[in-house]
Structure 1
Amino acid sequence: MKHASKLIRQHILALLADGQFHSGEVIAQEVGLSRTAVAGHISQLADWGLDVFKVKGKGYRLNRSFTLLNADKIKKYVRKSQLAVIDVAPVLESTNTEVKKRIANNRDELANGDTVLAEIQTAGRGRHGRTWLAPVGGSLTFSMYWSFPDGYQSMAGLSLLVGVAICDALQKIGVNDAQVKWPNDIYLGNKKLAGILIEVEGQIGATAHCVIGVGLNVHVPVDEYDVGQPHTDLSAALNSETDRNRLAAKIIESLWDHLDGFAHSGFGKYVAIWESLDLFADKKIVLQMGEKRFCGIDRGVDASGALLVETEDGITRFHGGEVSLRGY
């Protein structure tokens, strides 16, 4: 029953994606259900972030049309050869959770670079357990698998490396001024464009099975969505509609390329690149770690990915915390 509901919602989503009106009666005929059942499915999609409205006598329509994510199209745009699977799901609890399930159930069948994208996330997460919700069709949300046989210590600086890879991909589509905010955010014009959430499965001393989650704003108008902090999107930066399938291919390809290099050489060779993209380079910052608060000047990062902060006592290295310019 659960699988059948997913297929029905996927069908309804595909019908509505053109941005035109579709009567409840026609949708009901298409999916083989009653109009009441269709209304229930659309209500659930709306609860998950689908911007749909109903007009009496006309039916249902989305606020804006969008092109659905399509695994075959993404693969067509990817030029780099990699033994990896690219899957697109219409609805998932969270792409990170999905990849973690695959690690638990069949990790031997996973390959580095395997990627799962979702059109809708019903329980997306950000750092520190925050909820991360995105408008349907207006974001790019995906998770990638990568294993590190040498364990946790070989992953030092990984979230920073992912930021470098995303900025590299964005440059290839004409966004040249994206910056990184330590340790795992992408900013554009001092506003958040994308976030990174890395989770690791595995025992200390054994292979680290890594899940790299990315959420990027493609069409998230500031006047329509409040995400709890200043944000921007690619449509505002490019003044045009972004092909999410082509964008996904560029980012996935860039991650494959940079992760290969990172796995062989570590973060050291990427330090200078990251620092050239640093949003707070040489600025006075505040670092909040739980109840503790540290003030100083951002002096970049080291080969382990630690933030270097210049204080009255000299350079201090930090491996965790929230960085801001506020209140200093």
Structure 2
Amino acid sequence: MTETSIPLKLINILSDGNVHSCKQFGEKLYINSLNINKHIQTVYDWGIDLLKIPGQGQSNNYRLHTPLQLLDKQVIQMLLPTGRIVVLSVINSTNQYLIDRIAYLQPGDACVAEYQLHGRGRRGRKWISQFGNNIYLSIYWRLEQQGPATLIGLSLMVGIIVAEILQNIGASNVQVKWPNDLYLNNRKLAGILVETSGRSGDIGHIVIGTGINLAMPIMEKRWINLKEIGIDIVRNKLVAELTNALRNALLLFERDGFAPFILRWQALDYLYNKPVKLLRGDGKYSEIIGIARGINTQGALLLEQQGQINTYINGEISLRSYT
């Protein structure tokens, strides 16, 4: 595994956005130029936009393209009224970090990281990470029962909370896409991953992960970030707001289920009244075409097909035009 302490120290030095020389790195970190170059490569590998500026002789200077707002546990914790949060620099996955520690967690315990080595989305997809520019946040909860309807409703509820907070900070066009994405200007802004431990119907150990694109360079046209539309985020404040809002919403969801959230979903629904293709199944997908007509009180998708409304709990939706 890549050694992380020196690259993290380099990032802390560089985070002010000023030009720094390899000589400065060596003096502050007590390492030679060969090792500095190795650790600079790790900084690049983590997706940091680092500019190399020729210096004297064979030496190089470096600066960040944009200063970084690094996560600060003390600041985040001060903004939270209650509860515990772990702030990490480099982690395989914030969801997995909590899953591995479920026996020691209390509902509402949270984990946030600067960078995920192996972030994941639904169905095992890789969630692209970049150090210090996005939010990767996971929260643990316990529910008396778990099942497909409960978990879909939970994912939708989280989407509503995240969307409303982002709207409040200026992203007024954010919408939610069934079952687990947030869209802005017809492009993906954020994703939600709900993972469980325990048998269906038993007390459920739930870990909810949220990834939000704040300033990550866009590598695919289907993605968007908040910086692209001119919104600069105070990351520590946003982490605290999300954590607190999700904890409060989870208490309500635990008591009343998804029903209290359904009207809030309708105001945010990205797919409402649009033609959609529902892909169902593992491996070999079956395709179901219809018009999205919202959701029911359990969070199931309502799909109009030949004048009849059918409900679907499981599946993945993608928008496709058809005649």
Determine if the TM-score, normalized by the shorter chain, exceeds 0.5: yes
Which whole-Å CA distance do the structure 2 matches of 1:69 and 1:259 have between them?
24
| Matching residue of 1:226 | 219
Look up the equivalent residue of 2:317 and give its one-letter code.
V
Mapped contact 2:139–2:209 kept (Cα < 8 A): yes
| Matching residue of 1:41 | 39
SS in 1 for 2:193: strand
Look up the equivalent residue of 1:253 and give its one-letter code.
N
| Matching residue of 1:30 | 28
String of CA shifts for 1:114-138, please: whole Å, max 9, x gaps: 1111111111112221111233222
String of CA shifts for 1:285-316, please: whole Å, max 9, x gaps: 11112421111111111222210101016111
| Matching residue of 1:93 | 92
Mapped contact 1:119–1:137 kept (Cα < 8 A): yes
| Matching residue of 2:162 | 166
1:270 and 2:269 are equivalent in the alignment: no
| Matching residue of 2:134 | 139
**Runs of 5+ in structure 1 lacking a partner?**
none
SS in 2 for 1:310: strand
* Identical-pair percentage: 36
Which whole-Å CA distance do the structure 1 matches of 2:77 and 2:279 have between them?
41
Mapped contact 2:93–2:117 kept (Cα < 8 A): yes
1:186 and 2:188 are equivalent in the alignment: no
Of residues 110-119 and 25-34 in structure 1, the stretch that sits farther from structure 2 once superposed is 25-34
1:9 corresponds to which of 7, 10, 13:
7
SS in 1 for 2:4: helix
* Structure 1 pair 50–321 and aligned structure 2 pair: CA distance change class (3 A): same
1:60 and 2:62 are equivalent in the alignment: yes
Of residues 52-61 and 210-219 in structure 1, the stretch that sits farther from structure 2 once superposed is 52-61
Mapped contact 2:152–2:313 kept (Cα < 8 A): no
Look up the equivalent residue of 1:308 and give its one-letter code.
L
2:246 corresponds to which of 240, 255, 267:
255
SS in 1 for 2:88: strand
| Matching residue of 1:114 | 109
Which whole-Å CA distance do the structure 1 matches of 2:156 and 2:130 have between them?
26
SS in 1 for 2:236: helix
SS in 1 for 2:199: coil
Of residues 283-292 and 207-216 in structure 1, the stretch that sits farther from structure 2 once superposed is 283-292
Shift of 1:156: 4.7
Aligned residues: 314
Mapped contact 2:194–2:207 kept (Cα < 8 A): yes
Shift of 1:187: 0.9
SS in 1 for 2:100: helix
* Structure 1 pair 192–149 and aligned structure 2 pair: CA distance change class (3 A): same
| Matching residue of 1:73 | 75
Mapped contact 1:154–1:263 kept (Cα < 8 A): no
| Matching residue of 1:315 | 309
1:199 and 2:195 are equivalent in the alignment: yes
Shift of 1:194: 0.5
Shift of 1:322: 2.5
Which whole-Å CA distance do the structure 2 matches of 1:283 and 1:133 have between them?
28
Shift of 1:35: 2.1
String of CA shifts for 1:224-257, please: whole Å, max 9, x gaps: x314x512221233x2421111111121121111
